[in-house]
Copies of this chain bind each other. A is one copy, B any other.
Amino acid sequence: MSAAAAVGATPGATLLAEIREQPAVLGRLLEHANEYAAVAAEARRRRVRLVRMVGHGSSDNAASYGVYAFGLLPAWTAMRDSISLSVYYGAQVDLGSSCVVALSQSGETPDVVEYVLRARRRGAFTIAVTNATGSPLAEAAEATLPLGAGPELAIAATKTYSAQLAALALLAGHAAGRGAELEAGIARTAQLLEEFLPTLERRLTEIAVTFAFVGRMFVIGRGPEFATAREISLKLLETCRVAAEPLTATDLVHGPVAAIDGLFPVWTIASADESLPAVRDAAERARHAGATLIASGTAAAEIEGAAHYLPVAPPPLSLLTPLLSVAPGQLLAWALAQAKGLDPDRPSGLSKVTLAR
């Protein structure tokens, strides 16, 4: 069922259709690989030293991933830049050797467009990454990279978020001279996602009922998976009225662990990478404090005593794991909203394009 056909159908049908569409979206993004290669080449030609990513909501979560994609592939410093600092407070920082990557599903977010206009005037190489290649953002930026996600109808972004992660990985891969490897990696990851979604849908439907009365949750991820922790938290906030808070493993032990009691589920995303010992320790601290653990990620099995295990298969590059590990959270948001009697397609008080500044 296409997302468009699903509108107006069962509660959550639109969101589910878009979650299911993600493997196809990643395939469509790869059709634009040459455009990503050309923009990466231009960034290299201009000797970019700093990547400034801007976006709100899910787009800002994707930017958390970009910090690692650019840091680990071309070894460029990438930061989630403050939109307020330049747009509202008028700071006049030097942008000469900067590249701006502006992330917006609709390409209409006013302060992101304004940020790009200012940065371009001040010498930055500005790149719009958007679904809407004819949007104000695309017009404002010097280069535009299409996400290929197609119209997103559910208010909670899912396929746009995955496309943004893949877009950042692809751009960073080409910047590092590893474009072909990343293209193949994303294609294989899309295949893994396709294979693993049906089982996951069933698992999350079962698990969701046990969380029907949950009002708060921590979601723990580190490194590239901190983006996943942020995105899962946002989905739960938007669709399920759960006060979910993303934390790195280190954040948790620097204070918030004190808030945990038996009513506090803690979702831990464990990757088989350098961050695993910290994530495992944080999970242990949370369990000791009485939390109910959900363990996901490629190293879910390494988390002791979790109530639920949602392992994901390892993709060819561990940097691509977040493309898979967000799916259990998207599906929990979809299933839990229904278990709570909410319509995940129509969260209260939200509209698809946020024009508020």
A49 x B89 contact (CB < 8 A): no
Chain B residue contacts of A1, Cβ below 8 A: none
Report how far A7 CA is from B354 CA in the complex, Å. 50
Q: Which residues of chain A (269-290) have a CB below 8 Å from chain B?
A: 273-275, 277-278, 281-282, 285, 288-289
Report how far A90 CA is from B273 CA in the complex, Å. 12
User: Which one of A9-17, A300-308, A309-317, A342-350 is at the interface?
Assistant: A342-350
B347 x A258 contact (CB < 8 A): yes
A93 x B75 contact (CB < 8 A): yes
B254 x A354 contact (CB < 8 A): yes
Chain B residue contacts of A256, Cβ below 8 A: 234, 237-238
Q: Which residues of chain A (211-241) have a CB below 8 Å from chain B?
A: 215-216, 222-223, 234, 237-241
Chain B residue contacts of A348, Cβ below 8 A: 258, 289
- Chain B residue at smallest Cβ distance from A111: B250
B350 x A255 contact (CB < 8 A): yes
- Mask, A323-357, CB within 8 Å of B = 1, is 00000000000000000000000011110001011
B259 x A84 contact (CB < 8 A): no
- Mask, A197-208, CB within 8 Å of B = 1, is 000000000000
Nearest-CB distance from A258 to chain B (Å)? 4
Query: A29 interface residue, CB < 8 Å from B?
Result: no
A82 x B89 contact (CB < 8 A): no
- Chain B residue at smallest Cβ distance from A86: B71
Report how far A329 CA is from B248 CA in the complex, Å. 23
Query: A152 interface residue, CB < 8 Å from B?
Result: no
Report how far A255 CA is from B90 CA in the complex, Å. 26
Chain B residue contacts of A49, Cβ below 8 A: 49, 94, 97
Report how far A278 CA is from B356 CA in the complex, Å. 8
B241 x A275 contact (CB < 8 A): no
A57 x B234 contact (CB < 8 A): no
13 contacts between A and B (CB under 8 A): A56-B250, A56-B254, A68-B89, A79-B79, A84-B275, A234-B255, A237-B259, A238-B258, A238-B259, A240-B259, A243-B259, A245-B245, A250-B357
Q: Interface on A for B, CB 8 Å cutoff?
A: 49-50, 56-58, 60, 67-68, 71-72, 75-77, 79, 82-85, 88-94, 97, 111, 156, 215-216, 222-223, 234, 237-243, 245, 248, 250-251, 253-261, 264, 273-275, 277-278, 281-282, 285, 288-289, 347-350, 354, 356-357
